[in-house]
A and B are shown apart, each in its own frame.
Chain A
């Protein structure tokens, strides 16, 4: 049991052993154990690191001799939902890799060796990493007490400053009101062909993101190849302001740039760098009440 009843004062002389505690040395570069880990950073990015207990090329050289020189360290990422695999060569000096991925998906990574014309030699396989969602669930509660119609949920999202999600769910409400799911394709003023339910959902996310002013380069990283095609068609024919006007007219919203008091630039105080949703635009509609009123300042005289 530690003694906690008296303060510890520092002795004038510090032994060699204790002096070692004060030395700030680098930590080991290699832990001499096989380890691989796949970590989620964000819905669009995951991180892989690995460690080999021993040099894999030493084993390779014993097995293949000079042919071992053709091999390179490689990482393979598998999308467990679609089965899609992609393989990248890794730097011979690095033991980590960043992947751009898509939200709401499960992935597994492997580290191995590859050579031209040869199969990938898997050496280490990671645990499964699941990327978070960046949009609301497509499912409403089926119980009477907790079911929420899409238009009401859009309003609740807007109340919380999740404007992009509110537009997306508003589009869904419009779909439901108009009939077959394919109606959603009419909001995109390009020929999108037949879309699956998942692709329609992705299209709504895309339209909402564009209307809310999302970064196109970042948006592109989250889309399936089919939706990237649609995105490129949209960008060729419309800008964000035109799209907002079209969507607003169709949905009965006004999607306008937010005024200064509602643009959140992050916290002014405190150690935490707290997340605020992007709120560059605000939605107004008859069914959506006005937002908060400004705080009193030197120029107001609020009496209570």
Chain B
């Protein structure tokens, strides 16, 4: 038996961003960058690990909005255009850097090679179907895919149980569509838990959820094994909580791995550095400079200004990723040793949840780190075993019963990020829509016409999209405030237009068709999920 267990949990989520009304849209780039830098590399790494006999056995949430975007034909065609553009630019960069900046040549070659490989992998191996890549990994036994809220809605701040339930049920139905089975686990949006949510999860067949550390540490009664074993709510749903030490090692701005001096610097980008006329054919039609994902500099030091950053060396960075994987594993072994002693001989479980986009987008070498880590876990030692949360539940270990404490993984540990002076204005509108949709669903146990059915379903889609916790988050963070606020307002407005039409019995067909075409998430959705029970 190993000394301890390690469970990596990756949370892959992007808000549903799709603007067919424009030929291109800046915020859609979030998806295209993530496909190139995160999802394709992770699928490739995990596939190779599986084929080499070192199955990673981790859990990964691929959120419903992300699945829907990855499966969308419009976004697929736009992604092809995006990566073809980058390949063309990176090919030019090989010549340009050879002539003008040979210190960047190794990186230029790296980008050209990796982009072409990514394109080939996506186009040929996956058939342009990224979700298929994740599905195959699960079916081969490499990873365990879990779900999330339907549109990553913040459950504790919803006004009625119907709205909360719908987020779970629609997510589970969408998971069935994409992955052909029942999800065992769920990443609660923002790991936001309040007592009672577990009943909704159990009703949808969910066996476990991921929560933050203090959900268990402050739970009642005290957890025998701290965060190093799951607990079960009284209704049987299990809770796996985040280990702070592993979070710090990757995420801390002081001591975390991604801040290492040899790693790629995120904020120096060709899109800002290269001459404008040279770049112009590769920018959006608006001609605005933007991040392109081709970056030639390394972190250099925490205090170095952007113009002081040194050239990036991919080979040295790769070696550092291997070193860090070894260090991380060494720390897990040490941690398992002393925790096992504290826990009277029971092997501890360390649960390490992260945003998937950390690995590859924010931390460029992240997928390499994971590759090295899982190889070392499998081949270099036997003290710590990689397992998924589902594996742990299947192991037959006795699990303590506890009522977890209300919490989230957001700043300060509760709900402040989503409810504060800058975002409080959203909730009266959201709650009115929740109440109104529930009333409509109750009023129409059967839609009187196909058109009315479409309108009711679309009203549900607009509410779901308004509920995305990403909008309040972006407003709080001050990142894309205007876009986030506009998105929220537009979905509430569309909901209200549709609800007014439904209540009057006069549906504006042209408007309904256009809204359906734009906000086309969850075509399988049925508004009756919102009926009171």
Chain B residues, Cβ within 8 Å of A26: 489
A1-53 residues with Cβ-Cβ distance < 8 A to B are 1-2, 4-10, 15, 17-18, 20-22, 24-28, 31, 33, 35, 37, 39-43, 45, 47, 49, 51
Are B249 and A274 touching (Cβ within 8 A)?
Answer: no
Chain A residues, Cβ within 8 Å of B380: 304
Minimum C-beta distance from A264 to chain B (A): 6
> B245 interface residue, CB < 8 Å from A?
yes
B-contact 0/1 string along A237-268, CB 8 Å cutoff: 00000000000000000000000111111111
Are B20 and A9 touching (Cβ within 8 A)?
Answer: yes
CA distance A95 to B398 in the complex (A): 50
Chain A residues, Cβ within 8 Å of B254: 260-261, 263-265
> A56 interface residue, CB < 8 Å from B?
no
CA distance A91 to B362 in the complex (A): 45
Minimum C-beta distance from A268 to chain B (A): 4
The range of chain B's interface size is 35 or more
Q: Quick one: given A140-B222, A148-B222, A165-B217, are A276 and B244 in contact (CB under 8 Å)?
A: yes
Binds A, one of B127-135, B273-281, B399-407: B399-407
Chain A residues, Cβ within 8 Å of B244: 160-161, 276-277
Minimum C-beta distance from B335 to chain A (A): 8
Contact partner, A295, options B23, B249, B414, B517, Cβ 8 Å = B249
Chain B residues, Cβ within 8 Å of A157: 217, 226
CA distance A292 to B255 in the complex (A): 11
Chain A residues, Cβ within 8 Å of B429: 27-28
B132-153 residues with Cβ-Cβ distance < 8 A to A are none
Are A296 and B324 touching (Cβ within 8 A)?
Answer: yes
Minimum C-beta distance from B69 to chain A (A): 12
Are B355 and A272 touching (Cβ within 8 A)?
Answer: yes
> B227 interface residue, CB < 8 Å from A?
yes
Are A277 and B492 touching (Cβ within 8 A)?
Answer: no
CA distance A18 to B510 in the complex (A): 8
CA distance A158 to B524 in the complex (A): 48
Binds A, one of B43-51, B72-80, B87-95, B199-207: B72-80
> B31 interface residue, CB < 8 Å from A?
no
Minimum C-beta distance from B230 to chain A (A): 12
Chain A residues, Cβ within 8 Å of B339: 159
Contact partner, A41, options B226, B402, B414, B473, Cβ 8 Å = B414
Are B409 and A272 touching (Cβ within 8 A)?
Answer: yes
> B219 interface residue, CB < 8 Å from A?
yes
> A135 interface residue, CB < 8 Å from B?
yes
Are A145 and B262 touching (Cβ within 8 A)?
Answer: no
Are A41 and B420 touching (Cβ within 8 A)?
Answer: yes
Interface centre among B20, B21, B249 (most CB of A within 10 A): B21
Are B342 and A155 touching (Cβ within 8 A)?
Answer: yes
Q: Quick one: given A156-B342, A296-B327, are A274 and B516 in contact (CB under 8 Å)?
A: no
Are A273 and B258 touching (Cβ within 8 A)?
Answer: no
Minimum C-beta distance from A10 to chain B (A): 5
Are A40 and B20 touching (Cβ within 8 A)?
Answer: no
Tally A residues with Cβ within 8 Å of B.
Answer: 90
> A67 interface residue, CB < 8 Å from B?
no
Are B327 and A275 touching (Cβ within 8 A)?
Answer: no
Chain A residues, Cβ within 8 Å of B260: 295, 297-298
Chain A residues, Cβ within 8 Å of B293: none
Minimum C-beta distance from B481 to chain A (A): 13
Chain A residues, Cβ within 8 Å of B123: none
Chain B residues, Cβ within 8 Å of A132: 218, 405-407, 414
Minimum C-beta distance from A271 to chain B (A): 6
Are A37 and B73 touching (Cβ within 8 A)?
Answer: no
Are B490 and A21 touching (Cβ within 8 A)?
Answer: yes
> A137 interface residue, CB < 8 Å from B?
yes
Q: Quick one: given A7-B20, A41-B420, A298-B260, are A139 and B220 in contact (CB under 8 Å)?
A: yes
Q: Quick one: given A267-B251, A273-B411, are A296 and B331 in contact (CB under 8 Å)?
A: no
Chain A residues, Cβ within 8 Å of B370: none
Are B77 and A7 touching (Cβ within 8 A)?
Answer: yes
Q: Quick one: given A17-B510, A17-B511, A268-B259, are A153 and B222 in contact (CB under 8 Å)?
A: yes
Minimum C-beta distance from B199 to chain A (A): 16
Minimum C-beta distance from A177 to chain B (A): 17
Contact partner, A5, options B20, B73, B261, B405, Cβ 8 Å = B73
Are A275 and B224 touching (Cβ within 8 A)?
Answer: no
> A130 interface residue, CB < 8 Å from B?
yes
Are A137 and B219 touching (Cβ within 8 A)?
Answer: yes
Chain B residues, Cβ within 8 Å of A152: 342
A-contact 0/1 string along B406-443, CB 8 Å cutoff: 11111111111101100010011101100100000000
> A189 interface residue, CB < 8 Å from B?
no
B-contact 0/1 string along A199-240, CB 8 Å cutoff: 000000000000000000000000000000000000000000
Which A-chain residue is minimally distant from B18 (CB atoms)? A8
Chain B residues, Cβ within 8 Å of A155: 342
B9-43 residues with Cβ-Cβ distance < 8 A to A are 11, 20-23
CA distance A292 to B338 in the complex (A): 12
Which A-chain residue is minimally distant from B213 (CB atoms)? A160
Q: Quick one: given A152-B342, A160-B243, A162-B217, are A267 and B253 in contact (CB under 8 Å)?
A: yes
> B157 interface residue, CB < 8 Å from A?
yes
Chain A residues, Cβ within 8 Å of B120: none
Are A265 and B253 touching (Cβ within 8 A)?
Answer: yes
Chain A residues, Cβ within 8 Å of B331: 292-293
Are A270 and B327 touching (Cβ within 8 A)?
Answer: no
CA distance A225 to B21 in the complex (A): 59
Contact partner, A40, options B72, B358, B414, Cβ 8 Å = B414
> A96 interface residue, CB < 8 Å from B?
yes
> A64 interface residue, CB < 8 Å from B?
no
Interface centre among B249, B255, B416, B510 (most CB of A within 10 A): B255
Minimum C-beta distance from B436 to chain A (A): 9
Chain A residues, Cβ within 8 Å of B414: 40-43, 132
A-B pairs with lowest CB-CB distance, top 3: A269-B362, A156-B226, A132-B406
A40-B415, A146-B224, A298-B261 given; 16 more Cβ-contact pairs under 8 Å:
A2-B523, A37-B427, A37-B428, A47-B419, A130-B195, A132-B406, A135-B218, A141-B221, A159-B339, A160-B245, A268-B253, A270-B358, A271-B473, A275-B409, A295-B257, A298-B260
Can you give 12 contacting A-B residue pairs, CB < 8 Å? A7-B20, A21-B494, A39-B157, A41-B415, A43-B414, A141-B400, A264-B252, A266-B411, A267-B256, A275-B410, A292-B248, A293-B334
